[in-house]
Structure 1
Protein backbone atom coordinates (compact mmCIF):
# COMPACT_ATOMS: atom_id res chain seq x y z
CA UNK A 1 0.00 0.00 0.00
CA UNK A 2 2.86 2.34 0.88
CA UNK A 3 4.41 1.70 -2.52
CA UNK A 4 1.14 2.55 -4.26
CA UNK A 5 0.69 5.74 -2.23
CA UNK A 6 4.31 6.77 -2.87
CA UNK A 7 3.93 6.11 -6.61
CA UNK A 8 0.69 8.08 -6.85
CA UNK A 9 2.22 10.96 -4.87
CA UNK A 10 5.26 11.07 -7.15
CA UNK A 11 3.04 11.08 -10.22
CA UNK A 12 0.98 13.95 -8.79
CA UNK A 13 4.13 15.93 -8.02
CA UNK A 14 5.44 15.30 -11.52
CA UNK A 15 2.13 16.31 -13.10
CA UNK A 16 2.05 19.45 -10.96
CA UNK A 17 5.58 20.36 -12.01
CA UNK A 18 4.67 19.87 -15.68
CA UNK A 19 1.61 22.10 -15.27
CA UNK A 20 3.65 24.81 -13.55
CA UNK A 21 6.28 24.70 -16.30
CA UNK A 22 3.56 24.92 -18.96
CA UNK A 23 2.01 27.95 -17.25
CA UNK A 24 5.44 29.61 -17.03
CA UNK A 25 5.94 28.90 -20.74
CA UNK A 26 2.56 30.36 -21.71
CA UNK A 27 2.70 33.38 -19.40
CA UNK A 28 6.38 34.25 -19.59
CA UNK A 29 8.50 32.54 -22.19
CA UNK A 30 6.15 33.04 -25.18
CA UNK A 31 6.05 36.72 -24.22
CA UNK A 32 9.83 37.00 -24.07
CA UNK A 33 10.21 35.35 -27.48
CA UNK A 34 7.40 37.42 -29.00
CA UNK A 35 8.79 40.71 -27.69
CA UNK A 36 12.16 39.81 -29.16
CA UNK A 37 10.56 38.84 -32.48
CA UNK A 38 8.53 42.07 -32.64
CA UNK A 39 11.61 44.17 -31.88
CA UNK A 40 13.44 42.33 -34.66
CA UNK A 41 10.60 43.05 -37.10
CA UNK A 42 10.64 46.76 -36.26
CA UNK A 43 14.44 46.91 -36.55
CA UNK A 44 14.23 45.18 -39.94
CA UNK A 45 11.68 47.74 -41.12
CA UNK A 46 13.81 50.67 -40.00
CA UNK A 47 16.84 49.16 -41.77
CA UNK A 48 14.77 48.64 -44.94
CA UNK A 49 13.45 52.19 -44.87
CA UNK A 50 16.95 53.56 -44.31
CA UNK A 51 18.30 51.59 -47.28
CA UNK A 52 15.46 52.64 -49.56
CA UNK A 53 15.58 56.28 -48.57
CA UNK A 54 12.55 58.40 -47.86
CA UNK A 55 9.79 58.18 -50.42
CA UNK A 56 10.90 54.74 -51.66
CA UNK A 57 8.09 52.78 -50.03
CA UNK A 58 5.02 51.99 -52.17
CA UNK A 59 2.29 54.62 -52.03
CA UNK A 60 -0.91 53.58 -50.24
CA UNK A 61 -3.90 52.71 -52.36
CA UNK A 62 -6.90 50.39 -52.56
CA UNK A 63 -6.34 46.67 -52.61
CA UNK A 64 -8.45 44.21 -54.54
CA UNK A 65 -11.88 43.82 -52.98
CA UNK A 66 -11.32 46.68 -50.55
CA UNK A 67 -13.06 49.62 -52.14
CA UNK A 68 -10.95 50.13 -55.26
CA UNK A 69 -12.82 50.81 -58.47
CA UNK A 70 -12.57 48.52 -61.47
CA UNK A 71 -10.03 49.64 -64.00
CA UNK A 72 -8.22 51.84 -61.47
CA UNK A 73 -4.95 53.24 -62.79
CA UNK A 74 -3.32 53.02 -59.36
CA UNK A 75 -0.59 50.36 -59.28
CA UNK A 76 0.68 49.24 -55.89
CA UNK A 77 3.21 46.71 -54.71
CA UNK A 78 1.52 43.89 -52.75
CA UNK A 79 2.57 43.38 -49.16
CA UNK A 80 4.85 40.37 -48.72
CA UNK A 81 3.16 37.41 -47.04
CA UNK A 82 4.28 37.19 -43.41
CA UNK A 83 6.52 40.23 -43.76
CA UNK A 84 6.31 43.53 -41.85
CA UNK A 85 5.34 46.71 -43.68
CA UNK A 86 4.28 49.19 -40.96
CA UNK A 87 4.55 50.04 -37.28
CA UNK A 88 1.47 50.81 -35.15
CA UNK A 89 1.30 53.08 -32.11
CA UNK A 90 -1.69 53.41 -29.75
CA UNK A 91 -1.06 56.10 -27.09
CA UNK A 92 -4.03 54.88 -24.99
CA UNK A 93 -2.09 51.63 -24.43
CA UNK A 94 1.06 53.52 -23.41
CA UNK A 95 3.47 55.90 -25.12
CA UNK A 96 6.03 53.10 -25.35
CA UNK A 97 3.49 50.75 -27.02
CA UNK A 98 4.44 50.02 -30.61
CA UNK A 99 4.00 46.85 -32.67
CA UNK A 100 4.94 45.76 -36.18
CA UNK A 101 2.17 45.03 -38.67
CA UNK A 102 2.77 42.04 -40.94
CA UNK A 103 0.85 40.73 -43.92
CA UNK A 104 -1.53 37.86 -43.12
CA UNK A 105 -3.10 36.41 -40.00
CA UNK A 106 -1.52 32.94 -39.94
CA UNK A 107 -0.56 31.54 -36.54
CA UNK A 108 3.15 32.00 -37.17
CA UNK A 109 2.64 35.59 -38.33
CA UNK A 110 0.69 36.63 -35.23
CA UNK A 111 3.52 35.32 -33.07
CA UNK A 112 5.71 38.11 -34.48
CA UNK A 113 3.30 41.03 -34.32
CA UNK A 114 -0.07 42.21 -35.56
CA UNK A 115 -1.53 40.74 -38.76
CA UNK A 116 -3.18 42.52 -41.68
CA UNK A 117 -6.19 40.66 -43.06
CA UNK A 118 -5.48 39.80 -46.69
CA UNK A 119 -7.96 41.35 -49.11
CA UNK A 120 -8.74 44.34 -46.91
CA UNK A 121 -7.59 47.85 -47.75
CA UNK A 122 -3.99 48.93 -47.75
CA UNK A 123 -2.73 51.29 -45.10
CA UNK A 124 -4.31 54.68 -45.75
CA UNK A 125 -6.24 53.35 -48.73
CA UNK A 126 -9.93 53.51 -49.51
CA UNK A 127 -11.76 50.65 -47.79
CA UNK A 128 -11.18 48.96 -44.46
CA UNK A 129 -7.58 48.41 -43.36
CA UNK A 130 -8.14 45.52 -40.93
CA UNK A 131 -5.66 44.20 -38.36
CA UNK A 132 -5.75 41.32 -35.85
CA UNK A 133 -3.68 40.73 -32.73
CA UNK A 134 -3.42 38.37 -29.77
CA UNK A 135 -5.08 39.45 -26.54
CA UNK A 136 -2.89 37.17 -24.44
CA UNK A 137 0.29 35.14 -25.03
CA UNK A 138 2.93 36.00 -27.62
CA UNK A 139 3.64 39.39 -26.13
CA UNK A 140 0.04 40.22 -25.14
CA UNK A 141 -0.15 42.99 -27.78
CA UNK A 142 -3.86 43.69 -27.23
CA UNK A 143 -4.07 42.82 -23.53
CA UNK A 144 -5.61 46.22 -22.71
CA UNK A 145 -7.85 46.34 -25.78
CA UNK A 146 -11.02 46.95 -23.66
CA UNK A 147 -9.53 50.29 -22.56
CA UNK A 148 -9.80 51.75 -26.06
CA UNK A 149 -12.36 54.54 -26.35
CA UNK A 150 -14.02 56.69 -28.97
CA UNK A 151 -11.67 59.47 -30.06
CA UNK A 152 -8.49 57.53 -29.27
CA UNK A 153 -5.74 57.76 -31.86
CA UNK A 154 -4.27 54.77 -33.68
CA UNK A 155 -1.14 55.89 -35.52
CA UNK A 156 0.78 53.95 -38.15
CA UNK A 157 3.75 54.63 -40.37
CA UNK A 158 5.08 52.90 -43.48
CA UNK A 159 8.38 54.77 -43.33
CA UNK A 160 7.32 57.63 -45.57
CA UNK A 161 3.96 58.74 -44.13
CA UNK A 162 2.25 58.97 -40.76
CA UNK A 163 -1.40 57.86 -40.76
CA UNK A 164 -3.55 58.90 -37.80
CA UNK A 165 -6.88 57.11 -37.39
CA UNK A 166 -9.50 58.04 -34.77
CA UNK A 167 -11.68 55.42 -33.12
CA UNK A 168 -15.41 55.89 -33.72
CA UNK A 169 -16.92 52.77 -32.16
CA UNK A 170 -15.95 49.95 -29.84
CA UNK A 171 -14.91 47.80 -28.21
CA UNK A 172 -17.78 45.90 -29.80
CA UNK A 173 -18.25 42.24 -28.82
CA UNK A 174 -19.19 39.67 -31.43
CA UNK A 175 -18.54 36.06 -32.46
CA UNK A 176 -15.68 34.73 -34.63
CA UNK A 177 -18.07 33.93 -37.50
CA UNK A 178 -19.06 37.61 -37.81
CA UNK A 179 -16.71 38.32 -40.71
CA UNK A 180 -18.72 41.40 -41.76
CA UNK A 181 -16.70 43.42 -39.24
CA UNK A 182 -13.88 43.70 -41.81
CA UNK A 183 -16.08 44.53 -44.81
CA UNK A 184 -15.07 47.60 -46.82
CA UNK A 185 -18.04 49.37 -45.17
CA UNK A 186 -18.71 47.33 -42.00
CA UNK A 187 -22.47 47.44 -41.40
CA UNK A 188 -22.34 47.44 -37.59
CA UNK A 189 -19.73 50.20 -37.40
CA UNK A 190 -22.18 52.96 -38.14
CA UNK A 191 -20.44 53.88 -41.40
CA UNK A 192 -22.81 54.20 -44.34
CA UNK A 193 -20.57 55.08 -47.25
CA UNK A 194 -17.12 54.15 -48.59
CA UNK A 195 -14.23 55.77 -46.78
CA UNK A 196 -10.78 55.14 -45.36
CA UNK A 197 -11.36 52.97 -42.31
CA UNK A 198 -9.43 50.89 -39.80
CA UNK A 199 -10.66 47.78 -37.95
CA UNK A 200 -8.80 46.19 -35.03
CA UNK A 201 -9.79 42.73 -33.77
CA UNK A 202 -8.73 40.55 -30.85
CA UNK A 203 -10.03 37.62 -28.81
CA UNK A 204 -12.41 37.72 -25.86
CA UNK A 205 -12.41 36.73 -23.03
CA UNK A 206 -8.86 37.54 -22.04
CA UNK A 207 -7.75 33.90 -21.90
CA UNK A 208 -10.29 32.50 -24.36
CA UNK A 209 -11.40 32.81 -27.94
CA UNK A 210 -15.16 32.27 -27.92
CA UNK A 211 -15.77 35.88 -28.94
CA UNK A 212 -14.06 38.81 -30.60
CA UNK A 213 -13.64 42.46 -29.60
CA UNK A 214 -13.72 45.02 -32.40
CA UNK A 215 -12.98 48.73 -32.75
CA UNK A 216 -13.57 50.80 -35.88
CA UNK A 217 -11.79 54.01 -36.79
CA UNK A 218 -11.59 56.49 -39.67
CA UNK A 219 -8.48 58.06 -41.21
CA UNK A 220 -8.25 61.47 -39.58
CA UNK A 221 -4.99 62.85 -41.00
CA UNK A 222 -1.72 62.05 -42.74
CA UNK A 223 1.65 63.75 -42.88
CA UNK A 224 5.09 62.93 -44.29
CA UNK A 225 7.66 61.53 -41.89
CA UNK A 226 9.88 64.53 -42.65
CA UNK A 227 7.34 66.68 -40.78
CA UNK A 228 8.06 64.84 -37.55
CA UNK A 229 5.77 62.78 -35.33
CA UNK A 230 2.05 63.53 -35.48
CA UNK A 231 0.45 65.43 -32.61
CA UNK A 232 -1.13 62.23 -31.23
CA UNK A 233 2.33 60.84 -30.38
CA UNK A 234 3.64 63.97 -28.68
CA UNK A 235 3.66 63.76 -24.90
Structure 2
Protein backbone atom coordinates (compact mmCIF):
# COMPACT_ATOMS: atom_id res chain seq x y z
CA UNK A 1 0.00 0.00 0.00
CA UNK A 2 1.44 3.40 -1.04
CA UNK A 3 1.23 6.31 1.40
CA UNK A 4 -0.40 9.41 -0.04
CA UNK A 5 1.78 12.53 0.18
CA UNK A 6 -0.30 15.61 -0.56
CA UNK A 7 2.76 17.82 -0.96
CA UNK A 8 4.24 15.38 -3.46
CA UNK A 9 0.96 15.31 -5.41
CA UNK A 10 0.92 19.10 -5.45
CA UNK A 11 4.48 19.35 -6.73
CA UNK A 12 3.85 16.82 -9.50
CA UNK A 13 0.64 18.51 -10.70
CA UNK A 14 0.56 20.66 -13.82
CA UNK A 15 1.14 24.41 -13.55
CA UNK A 16 -2.54 25.31 -14.00
CA UNK A 17 -3.66 22.79 -11.37
CA UNK A 18 -1.04 24.15 -8.95
CA UNK A 19 -2.37 27.66 -9.57
CA UNK A 20 -5.93 26.51 -8.87
CA UNK A 21 -4.85 24.77 -5.67
CA UNK A 22 -3.09 27.93 -4.47
CA UNK A 23 -6.23 29.99 -5.16
CA UNK A 24 -8.34 27.55 -3.14
CA UNK A 25 -5.84 27.53 -0.27
CA UNK A 26 -5.90 31.35 -0.28
CA UNK A 27 -9.72 31.26 -0.20
CA UNK A 28 -9.57 28.93 2.79
CA UNK A 29 -7.09 31.11 4.71
CA UNK A 30 -9.09 34.30 4.08
CA UNK A 31 -12.34 32.52 5.00
CA UNK A 32 -10.98 31.38 8.35
CA UNK A 33 -9.68 34.89 9.07
CA UNK A 34 -13.15 36.30 8.36
CA UNK A 35 -14.84 33.58 10.44
CA UNK A 36 -12.66 34.35 13.47
CA UNK A 37 -13.00 38.13 13.09
CA UNK A 38 -16.78 38.11 12.54
CA UNK A 39 -17.33 35.68 15.41
CA UNK A 40 -15.51 38.01 17.80
CA UNK A 41 -17.43 41.05 16.56
CA UNK A 42 -20.80 39.30 16.80
CA UNK A 43 -19.97 38.03 20.29
CA UNK A 44 -19.18 41.59 21.36
CA UNK A 45 -22.40 42.87 19.74
CA UNK A 46 -24.48 40.21 21.54
CA UNK A 47 -22.94 41.14 24.90
CA UNK A 48 -23.57 44.81 24.21
CA UNK A 49 -27.27 44.21 23.58
CA UNK A 50 -27.70 42.42 26.90
CA UNK A 51 -25.65 44.92 28.93
CA UNK A 52 -27.22 48.07 27.50
CA UNK A 53 -30.80 46.82 27.67
CA UNK A 54 -30.28 45.87 31.31
CA UNK A 55 -29.14 49.44 31.96
CA UNK A 56 -31.92 50.93 29.81
CA UNK A 57 -34.72 49.02 31.56
CA UNK A 58 -33.28 49.55 35.04
CA UNK A 59 -35.29 52.74 35.42
CA UNK A 60 -32.42 55.17 34.81
CA UNK A 61 -33.38 58.62 33.57
CA UNK A 62 -33.08 58.70 29.78
CA UNK A 63 -31.46 62.14 29.77
CA UNK A 64 -28.80 60.90 32.15
CA UNK A 65 -28.27 57.78 30.04
CA UNK A 66 -27.92 59.98 26.97
CA UNK A 67 -25.27 62.11 28.68
CA UNK A 68 -23.34 58.97 29.59
CA UNK A 69 -23.46 57.83 25.98
CA UNK A 70 -22.40 61.29 24.82
CA UNK A 71 -19.15 61.04 26.78
CA UNK A 72 -18.31 57.82 24.88
CA UNK A 73 -19.57 58.97 21.50
CA UNK A 74 -16.79 57.31 19.48
CA UNK A 75 -17.14 53.96 21.27
CA UNK A 76 -20.88 53.40 20.85
CA UNK A 77 -22.24 50.34 19.06
CA UNK A 78 -25.43 48.36 18.69
CA UNK A 79 -28.44 49.30 20.78
CA UNK A 80 -26.58 52.09 22.57
CA UNK A 81 -25.77 53.72 19.23
CA UNK A 82 -29.41 53.37 18.17
CA UNK A 83 -30.55 54.88 21.48
CA UNK A 84 -28.07 57.75 21.14
CA UNK A 85 -29.16 58.56 17.59
CA UNK A 86 -32.85 58.41 18.44
CA UNK A 87 -32.67 60.47 21.64
CA UNK A 88 -30.38 63.07 20.04
CA UNK A 89 -32.81 63.62 17.18
CA UNK A 90 -35.77 63.57 19.57
CA UNK A 91 -34.22 66.29 21.75
CA UNK A 92 -33.29 68.42 18.73
CA UNK A 93 -36.71 68.22 17.11
CA UNK A 94 -38.50 68.70 20.43
CA UNK A 95 -36.88 72.12 20.79
CA UNK A 96 -37.78 73.36 17.33
CA UNK A 97 -41.01 71.47 16.64
CA UNK A 98 -42.55 70.64 20.01
CA UNK A 99 -46.17 71.56 19.04
CA UNK A 100 -46.14 68.62 16.58
CA UNK A 101 -45.27 65.51 18.61
CA UNK A 102 -45.86 63.13 15.72
CA UNK A 103 -43.20 64.88 13.65
CA UNK A 104 -40.79 64.73 16.57
CA UNK A 105 -41.30 61.00 17.08
CA UNK A 106 -41.15 60.31 13.35
CA UNK A 107 -37.82 62.10 13.10
CA UNK A 108 -36.38 60.12 16.02
CA UNK A 109 -37.65 56.87 14.48
CA UNK A 110 -36.03 57.73 11.16
CA UNK A 111 -32.72 58.46 12.89
CA UNK A 112 -32.87 55.10 14.70
CA UNK A 113 -33.65 53.29 11.46
CA UNK A 114 -30.61 54.84 9.77
CA UNK A 115 -28.44 53.97 12.75
CA UNK A 116 -29.72 50.38 12.72
CA UNK A 117 -28.87 50.00 9.03
CA UNK A 118 -25.36 51.28 9.64
CA UNK A 119 -24.85 48.87 12.52
CA UNK A 120 -26.03 45.96 10.37
CA UNK A 121 -23.70 46.99 7.54
CA UNK A 122 -20.80 46.83 10.00
CA UNK A 123 -21.85 43.42 11.32
CA UNK A 124 -22.40 41.96 7.84
CA UNK A 125 -19.06 43.14 6.44
CA UNK A 126 -17.15 40.33 4.64
CA UNK A 127 -19.79 37.68 5.44
CA UNK A 128 -21.02 37.54 1.80
CA UNK A 129 -17.46 36.55 0.81
CA UNK A 130 -17.95 33.31 2.75
CA UNK A 131 -21.06 32.55 0.73
CA UNK A 132 -19.13 33.21 -2.47
CA UNK A 133 -16.30 30.91 -1.41
CA UNK A 134 -18.76 28.20 -0.46
CA UNK A 135 -20.50 28.48 -3.83
CA UNK A 136 -17.56 28.62 -6.24
CA UNK A 137 -14.77 26.65 -4.55
CA UNK A 138 -16.10 23.17 -5.47
CA UNK A 139 -16.44 24.24 -9.11
CA UNK A 140 -12.94 25.74 -9.19
CA UNK A 141 -11.59 22.51 -7.69
CA UNK A 142 -13.59 20.47 -10.20
CA UNK A 143 -12.16 22.52 -13.05
CA UNK A 144 -8.68 21.75 -11.76
CA UNK A 145 -9.54 18.07 -11.57
CA UNK A 146 -10.93 17.94 -15.11
CA UNK A 147 -7.91 19.78 -16.45
CA UNK A 148 -5.53 17.49 -14.55
CA UNK A 149 -7.22 14.34 -15.82
CA UNK A 150 -7.16 15.67 -19.39
CA UNK A 151 -3.47 16.44 -18.99
CA UNK A 152 -2.83 12.92 -17.63
CA UNK A 153 -4.65 11.21 -20.53
CA UNK A 154 -2.97 13.38 -23.14
CA UNK A 155 0.40 12.37 -21.68
CA UNK A 156 -0.64 8.71 -21.89
CA UNK A 157 -1.36 9.15 -25.57
CA UNK A 158 2.36 9.39 -26.19
CA UNK A 159 3.03 5.84 -24.91
CA UNK A 160 2.23 2.63 -26.75
CA UNK A 161 0.86 0.67 -23.79
CA UNK A 162 -0.97 2.41 -20.95
CA UNK A 163 -1.45 0.76 -17.58
CA UNK A 164 -3.36 1.69 -14.43
CA UNK A 165 -0.03 2.19 -12.70
CA UNK A 166 0.83 4.86 -15.23
CA UNK A 167 -2.49 6.74 -15.15
CA UNK A 168 -3.21 6.55 -11.41
CA UNK A 169 -0.67 9.18 -10.22
CA UNK A 170 -1.93 11.75 -12.74
CA UNK A 171 -5.55 11.20 -11.72
CA UNK A 172 -4.63 11.41 -8.03
CA UNK A 173 -2.83 14.72 -8.62
CA UNK A 174 -5.94 16.04 -10.34
CA UNK A 175 -8.43 14.83 -7.72
CA UNK A 176 -6.56 16.65 -4.96
CA UNK A 177 -7.86 19.92 -6.46
CA UNK A 178 -11.45 18.85 -5.81
CA UNK A 179 -10.53 17.82 -2.28
CA UNK A 180 -8.99 21.24 -1.59
CA UNK A 181 -12.09 22.90 -3.11
CA UNK A 182 -14.33 21.02 -0.68
CA UNK A 183 -11.94 21.80 2.17
CA UNK A 184 -12.37 25.51 1.42
CA UNK A 185 -16.11 25.37 0.71
CA UNK A 186 -17.54 23.33 3.59
CA UNK A 187 -16.37 25.53 6.51
CA UNK A 188 -17.24 28.67 4.53
CA UNK A 189 -20.83 27.52 3.91
CA UNK A 190 -21.33 26.44 7.53
CA UNK A 191 -19.90 29.71 8.85
CA UNK A 192 -21.92 31.78 6.38
CA UNK A 193 -25.19 30.21 7.50
CA UNK A 194 -24.31 30.50 11.18
CA UNK A 195 -23.05 34.09 11.03
CA UNK A 196 -26.00 35.20 8.89
CA UNK A 197 -28.37 33.66 11.42
CA UNK A 198 -26.65 35.56 14.24
CA UNK A 199 -26.82 38.85 12.31
CA UNK A 200 -30.53 38.30 11.68
CA UNK A 201 -31.06 37.67 15.40
CA UNK A 202 -29.24 40.89 16.27
CA UNK A 203 -31.26 42.76 13.65
CA UNK A 204 -34.46 41.51 15.27
CA UNK A 205 -33.17 42.66 18.65
CA UNK A 206 -32.30 46.11 17.28
CA UNK A 207 -35.73 46.45 15.67
CA UNK A 208 -37.50 45.41 18.86
CA UNK A 209 -35.50 47.89 20.92
CA UNK A 210 -36.21 50.69 18.42
CA UNK A 211 -39.95 49.92 18.52
CA UNK A 212 -40.01 49.91 22.33
CA UNK A 213 -37.96 53.10 22.53
CA UNK A 214 -40.24 54.77 19.96
CA UNK A 215 -43.24 54.00 22.18
CA UNK A 216 -41.47 55.63 25.14
CA UNK A 217 -40.58 58.72 23.09
CA UNK A 218 -44.16 58.89 21.82
CA UNK A 219 -45.49 59.00 25.38
CA UNK A 220 -42.91 61.60 26.39
CA UNK A 221 -43.73 63.82 23.41
CA UNK A 222 -47.47 63.81 24.13
CA UNK A 223 -47.06 64.14 27.90
CA UNK A 224 -44.84 67.19 27.51
CA UNK A 225 -47.36 68.68 25.09
CA UNK A 226 -50.25 68.08 27.49
CA UNK A 227 -48.44 69.65 30.46
CA UNK A 228 -47.96 72.95 28.62
Taking structure 1 as the reference length, the TM-score comes to 0.33
Taking structure 2 as the reference length, the TM-score comes to 0.34
Quick check: which one's strand share is greater? 1
Tell me: higher relative CO, structure 1 or 2? Use CA pairs within 8 A at least 6 residues apart: 2
Quick check: which one's helix share is greater? 2
Structure exhibiting the larger radius of gyration computed from Cα positions: 2
